[in-house]
Amino acid sequence: MQAEPDNDQPTILIVDDERVNRSMLAELLGQQYRVLLAKDGPSALTIAARESHRLLLVLLDVSMPGMNGYEVLTQLKKQEATAGIAIIFITGQSDAAAEEYGLRLGAADYVSKPIRPAVVSVRVRNQIDLALQRQALQRLAQVDGLTSLANRRHFDDMLRRSHRMCLRRNDPLGLALIDIDHFKLYNDHYGHVQGDEALKQVAGTLARHARRPYDLAARFGGEEFALILPGHADAVEVVERFRLEVQSMAIAHAASTTAPELTVSCGVLTIHCGQTDGMEDCLRRADELLYEAKTSGRNRVCATSVGL
């Protein structure tokens, strides 16, 4: 059971074995937040794992049969996807030692029973505000300031995560490294301000080819870009479409010795599920493919696969 408000609203999970408490909290918070409900620990963990990308706060009853709130919190903190979700304990106990124990486990706050609506609203609002601030700071730390693509740090992190996910799912992983051809000559000829504009145009085009939830377009450094395509058996086709679209933008490049317009060279590596080498080796292989594309004439895609 859950309320169905605007999907842009912050998501809260209420976990309590008593229906009356769940209903009261849902009614209190449902106008401001997207509210999910769970009646016990195992179902709370299932919902939290499924909604981890949106879930900002859990209101968690301490005393529940089977799996108590402390155990649920411990399990949430063990999982990377749910470790950062804020927890407010709901308790009828007034034991200072129990409250200290919960805070040491990682709870952000406590709400005492009987529940006082005004107090709950303020404490929830405070935690939601903090969670939204953390998200905003995290996004800033992950984004390249010029192109608004993922930065190198975020790319490295997501590549490792994508590799683990594809291994679990028995899926291929597409990895592309991309270089704008003769970009130093472009900057020398047109100036760095126009060079920045060209970078932003290429970045915007690349972002449109990272369409699925787990795809990632990143600025790798300078005029180099990267694309992560988990589960894509046709990564080469995706990158080739991108290459053609960049050329079709017809951004004049009078200094290029490859074409009269801006072009890109691309190296594409498809990593199959049996490949368990470190991502450093995969990046090195993708970089070798990019080098091959550049030395064999530029404005092309060179590709191979590993782990067959």
What residues are annotated to the active site? Answer: 223
184 to 179, 190, 235, 269, 287: CA distances (angstroms): 11, 10, 28, 26, 19
Q: Which residue type occupies 155? A: F
Whole-number Å distance between alpha carbons of 270 and 303: 8
User: Cis bond leading into 114, ω under 30°?
Assistant: yes
Q: Which residue type occupies 30? A: G
Whole-number Å distance between alpha carbons of 145 and 55: 27
DSSP code for 172: -
Whole-number Å distance between alpha carbons of 261 and 92: 70
Contacts of 4 (CB under 8 A, 6+ apart): 34
Whole-number Å distance between alpha carbons of 148 and 264: 19
Q: Mind giving me the DSSP string for 173-187?
A: EEEEEEEETTHHHHH
Token pair, residue 99, equals: 């409250």
DSSP-derived 3-state class of residue 250: coil
Angle between helices 69-78 and 41-50 (to 10 degrees): 30
Q: Pairing mode, if any, of strands 264-271 and 301-306?
A: parallel
Comparing CA positions, the residue from 49, 19, 52 lying closest to residue 37 is 19
Whole-number Å distance between alpha carbons of 299 and 246: 10
